[in-house]
């Protein structure tokens, strides 16, 4: 085996392990903040806020699953620092978001901001996909990276913008009609719609992974 190729494989493995560890740690930190604030809500008996807790848990599920798929599919040597800095910044955004479980207006304002940050992350990561496409050495690689590119563009142009607009619309609705959405608890309808959108997106992630799993295996077998 080519020593240079073997060295590249070892570096790829190190970088992948770093990415997987980072993704798990930062989402563990986010889960701590969600759990800590949920405990406060239980103590205060704000039962309607449990929908916000469920939505927060979905945020963690979504970010973790997307980051794991991204790592297994695209991450190689050399390490991409900007991409990892985005991950850490998003984790900070999640921690701040989870501190507003009992404040519907702030929750949706921060959710819109967080969605915008994730949108930028998807755009930024297109450069990784382009790099992998250029490096593709066989048909299995090209099929895998082509699928990853299609998914990335679908998120950039459709899914993430829709999540951003949903959160922005909810924030504006609460700001314009606080009597209905706050005083009369109309925000329950808004957080319910957000929760449904998150669950739908999780289902999409599951379908996406089932489609690329075989391509990923074929790509590794050819390597």
The total of other beta-carbon atoms located within 10 Å of residue 47's CB is 9
Q: Are 64 and 23 in contact (CB under 8 A)?
A: yes
Per-residue exposure over 71-105, b if at least 16 CB sit within 10 Å of its own CB, e if not: bbbbbbeeebeebbebbeebbebbbebbbbbebbb
| pLDDT tens digits, 190-205 | 999 999 999 999 999 9
Q: Are 201 and 163 in contact (CB under 8 A)?
A: yes
| pLDDT tens digits, 79-124 | 889 999 999 999 999 999 999 999 999 999 999 999 999 999 999 9
Band of the pLDDT at 12, cuts 50, 70, 90? confident
């Amino acid at each position: 085996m080519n020593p240079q190729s073997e060295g590249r494989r070892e570096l790829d493995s190190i970088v992948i392990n770093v990415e997987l560890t980072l993704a798990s740690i930062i989402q563990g930190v986010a889960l701590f903040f969600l759990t800590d604030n949920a405990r406060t809500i239980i103590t205060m008996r704000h039962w309607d806020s449990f929908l916000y807790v469920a939505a927060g848990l979905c945020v963690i599920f979504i970010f973790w699953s997307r980051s794991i798929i991204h790592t297994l599919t695209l991450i190689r040597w050399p390490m991409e620092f900007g991409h990892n800095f985005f991950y850490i910044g998003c984790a900070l955004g999640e921690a701040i978001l989870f501190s507003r479980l009992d404040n519907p207006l702030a929750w949706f304002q921060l959710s819109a901001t967080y969605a915008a940050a994730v949108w930028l992350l998807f755009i930024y990561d297109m450069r990784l996909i382009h790099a992998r496409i250029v490096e593709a050495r066989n048909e299995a690689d090209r099929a895998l990276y082509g699928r990853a590119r299609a998914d990335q563009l679908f998120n950039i142009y459709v899914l993430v913008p829709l999540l951003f607009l949903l959160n922005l619309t909810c924030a504006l609705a609460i700001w314009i009609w606080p009597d209905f959405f706050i005083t009369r608890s109309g925000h329950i309808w808004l957080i319910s719609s957000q929760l449904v959108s998150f669950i739908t997106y999780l289902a999409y992630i599951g379908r996406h992974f089932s489609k690329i799993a075989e391509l990923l295996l074929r790509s590794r077998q050819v390597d």
